[in-house]
């Protein structure tokens, strides 16, 4: 059975929208990777780490939040895989990183380069990477200060991601076309959004594979 590896942050892990920092909410059991793999009828490997960035060690959460490190580890510790879905970038809009949309998109491009590298592809017998642009975060709720400026910076980020995917002939999906971040905290997905995104990504992957 084909295997899908989903690599991302808290929205791949399934963290629910947080009304307060100390809120204890269960992981969403119907998170989008589970829904997606179910629709595809594929096996699933989940690599969602809350706080993960595209390419930035976090001075607060730790150096292991750097997605470059995480992707190398994931691709060497799992497999073989047949497809890789990358959805990262939300945490890069935290104010303390002071990253521009162009920088974040370029870092996503580097993650694609890792996935497309000859050694990594050979390790898995070849696989298809897919890039998913997360819906733009916005400043509200308990994370408003932490993501100050994110609303303006995130405008147009999907087009920048699409350009990085196009450069490498990689399939691209804009999650912002089917869902948005929760009004509760501006960064996470509610249960309805997870369900919708999972179905949409499965349909997208199916169409990309059929197209060849």
> Helix and strand tally (H, E) in the chain?
8, 5
Kindly report, residue by residue over 46-56, the tens digit of the pLDDT: 999 999 999 99
Looking at residue 91, its pLDDT comes to 98
Residue 153 lies in a domain: yes
The number of folded domains in the chain is: 1
Q: What is the pLDDT of residues 161-183, one digit of tens each?
A: 999 999 999 999 999 999 999 99
Alpha-carbon distance of 59 to 82, in angstroms, equals: 34
What b-and-e string marks burial along 28-67, b requiring 16 or more CB atoms within 10 Å of the CB? beebbbbbbbebbebeebbbbbbbbbbbbebeeeeeebbb
Instruction: State phi, psi for 178 to the nearest 5 degrees.
Output: -120, -20
pLDDT-based confidence at residue 23 (cuts at 50, 70, 90): confident
- What three-state secondary structure class fits 47? strand
Give the list of residues 6+ apart from residue 122 with CB closer than 8 angstroms, or none.
none
Q: Which pTM does this prediction carry? A: 0.96
Report yes or no on 93 lying in a domain.
yes
For residue 193, being part of any structural domain is answered with yes
Q: What is the CATH number of the domain that holds 110?
A: 3.40.50.1110
Q: What is the pLDDT of residue 98?
A: 95
Q: Which residue has the tokens 């969403």?
A: 28
Q: Residue 22 domain-assigned?
A: no
For residue 84, being part of any structural domain is answered with yes
pLDDT tens digits, one per residue of 49-97: 999 999 999 898 899 999 999 999 999 999 899 999 999 999 999 999 9
Question: Can you give the residue range of the structural domain that contains 66?
Answer: 3-15+27-211
- For residue 21, tell me if it sits in a domain: no
Is 20 contained in some domain? Answer: no
Query: How much is the pLDDT for 210?
Result: 87
């Amino acid at each position: 059975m084909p295997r899908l590896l989903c690599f991302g942050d808290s929205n791949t892990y399934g963290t629910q929208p947080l009304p307060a920092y100390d809120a204890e909410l269960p992981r969403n059991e119907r998170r989008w990777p589970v829904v997606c793999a179910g629709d595809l009828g594929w096996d699933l490997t989940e690599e969602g780490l809350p706080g993960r960035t595209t390419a930035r060690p976090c001075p607060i959460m730790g150096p292991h939040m750097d997605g470059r490190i995480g992707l190398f580890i994931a691709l060497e510790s799992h497999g073989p895989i047949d497809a890789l879905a990358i959805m990262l970038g939300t945490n890069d809009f935290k104010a303390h990183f002071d990253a521009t949309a162009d920088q974040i998109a370029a870092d996503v491009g580097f993650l694609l380069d890792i996935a497309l590298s000859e050694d990594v592809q050979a390790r898995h017998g070849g696989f298809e990477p897919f890039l998913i642009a997360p819906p733009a975060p916005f400043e509200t709720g308990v994370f408003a200060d932490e993501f100050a400026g994110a609303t303006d910076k995130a405008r147009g980020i999907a087009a920048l991601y699409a350009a990085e995917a196009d450069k490498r002939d990689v399939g691209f999906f804009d999650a912002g076309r089917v869902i948005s971040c929760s009004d509760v905290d501006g960064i996470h997905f509610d249960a309805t959004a997870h369900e919708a995104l999972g179905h949409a990504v499965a349909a997208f992957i199916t169409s990309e594979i059929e197209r060849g």
